[in-house]
């Protein structure tokens, strides 16, 4: 894969962290920011007005735009880093052939809730993007620690090992170690599931369960995630492939999202455990907790997979069916091993 110009769609904390990594590596970028007022602030003050405010940029290396069409036209590699619930709106109005000959990198850890599909499925349906154009950027890496240049690991997945490896070179820095694999479907579903489990970990904390229980809960969540990913592999006729689900992009991301105070899903769950309604927690957090919609999406997807997912089902029932967290976690206690 030849070196190309990078465009970033999104201006939240993770998009900002990605922009830092790429520009620290000396690559100019085109950056889509929805509101012109935020671009004006960024240009004048050299930092994001809302996220990672202590992270400063050399804005001479950045072409800001409010036009997704402009970004796509200027970019060879397009990184999508917006919450899954906003993807369709962000790409609205693009010509169906817009992504021809482009490389698409997903930094999304969610399912598009309106469609119950992953980003690669949506792009294939709407823009005829083939799987060999599509890569994922995932792993246990909170934006706050990346911004502070604390060592983090990112895993890039794609069906072509050489192209995936080439893409990873844009991100290898003193504070980012990159890894590659070919499990495009599995890493995405792991990124979706771990947010649901982190919500559950937060609920447990809000209910004043201790670290001993939490370790058992997360161990069981890891086992359940293995069941889900195995069912995904089977549905894609790839059950013969040997995947190391203890690798950082799977287990590592699950652990950090369940334990870290930076985790918005854990924080959201903690509020639910303390008695907040879903709506009140959303207002208080003021950021998207991907695990909320993901729990509903995975339940819908699992109607065909038929994987055994009692923890995800319990979290879904609390969030979407109004089940009592106290009673539900009492029921969860009885199934953990």
CA distance 172 to 175: 8
Residue-wise pLDDT tens digits, 80-138 = 999 999 999 999 989 999 999 999 999 999 899 989 999 999 999 999 999 999 999 99
Question: Does position 35 have pLDDT exceeding 80, yes or no?
Answer: yes
- pLDDT attached to residue 99: 97
When the pLDDT of each residue in the chain is averaged and rounded to a whole number, the result is 95
CA–CA distance, 242 with 192 (Å, rounded to integer): 21
Q: Tell me the pLDDT band of 287, cut-offs 50, 70 and 90.
A: confident
List of residues 6+ apart from 237 with CB closer than 8 A = none
CATH class of 6-182: alpha beta
| Calpha distance 175→149 (Å, rounded) | 5
* CATH class, range 186-333: mainly alpha
What integer pLDDT is reported at residue 235 of this predicted model? Answer: 86
Domain ranges of the chain: 6-182, 186-333
Confidence (pTM): 0.94
Q: Kind of pairing, strands 134-138 and 62-65?
A: unpaired
> Residues 310-320: pLDDT tens digits?
999 999 999 99
Q: What is the distance between the terminal CA atoms of the chain, rounded to a whole angstrom?
A: 47
Distance separating alpha carbons of residues 325 and 332, to the nearest angstrom: 10
10 Å CB burial of residue 229 (0-12, 13-18, 19+) is: buried
> What does the alpha-carbon distance between residue 36 and residue 53 come to, in Å, rounded to a whole number?
18
Confidence of residue 1 (pLDDT cuts 50, 70, 90): very low
- Residue 31 confidence (pLDDT): 98
pLDDT for position 238: 75
């Amino acid at each position: 894969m030849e070196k190309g110009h990078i465009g970033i769609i999104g201006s939240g904390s993770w998009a900002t962290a990605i922009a830092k990594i790429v520009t620290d590596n000396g690559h100019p970028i085109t950056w889509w920011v929805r509101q012109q007022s935020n671009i004006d602030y960024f240009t004048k003050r050299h930092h994001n007005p809302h996220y990672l405010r202590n992270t400063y940029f050399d804005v001479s290396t950045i072409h800001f735009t409010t036009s997704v069409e402009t970004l796509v036209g200027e970019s060879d590699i397009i990184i999508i880093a917006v919450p899954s619930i906003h993807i369709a709106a962000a790409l609205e109005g693009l010509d169906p052939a817009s992504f021809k000959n482009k490389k698409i990198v997903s930094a999304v850890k969610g399912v598009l809730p309106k469609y119950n599909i992953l980003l690669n499925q949506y792009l294939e349906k709407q823009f005829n993007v083939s799987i060999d154009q599509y890569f994922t950027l995932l792993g246990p890496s909170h934006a706050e620690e990346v911004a502070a240049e604390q060592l983090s690991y990112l895993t890039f997945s794609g069906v072509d090992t050489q192209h995936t490896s080439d893409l990873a070179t844009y991100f290898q820095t003193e504070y980012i170690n990159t890894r590659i694999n070919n499990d495009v479907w599995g890493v995405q579903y792991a990124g979706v599931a771990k947010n649901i489990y982190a919500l559950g970990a937060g609920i447990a904390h809000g209910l004043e369960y201790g670290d001993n229980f939490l370790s058992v809960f997360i161990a069981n969540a890891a086992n359940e995630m293995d069941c889900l990913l195995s069912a995904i592999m089977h549905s894609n006729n790839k059950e013969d492939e040997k995947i190391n689900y203890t690798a950082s992009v799977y287990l590592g991301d699950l652990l950090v999202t369940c334990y870290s105070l930076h985790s918005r899903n854990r924080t959201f769950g903690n509020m639910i455990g303390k008695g907040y309604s879903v709506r009140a927690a959303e207002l208080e957090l003021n950021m998207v907790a991907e695990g909320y919609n993901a729990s509903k999406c995975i339940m819908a997807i699992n109607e065909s997979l038929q994987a055994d997912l009692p923890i995800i089902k319990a979290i879904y029932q609390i969030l979407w069916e109004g089940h009592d967290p106290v009673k539900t976690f009492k029921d969860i206690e009885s199934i953990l091993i």
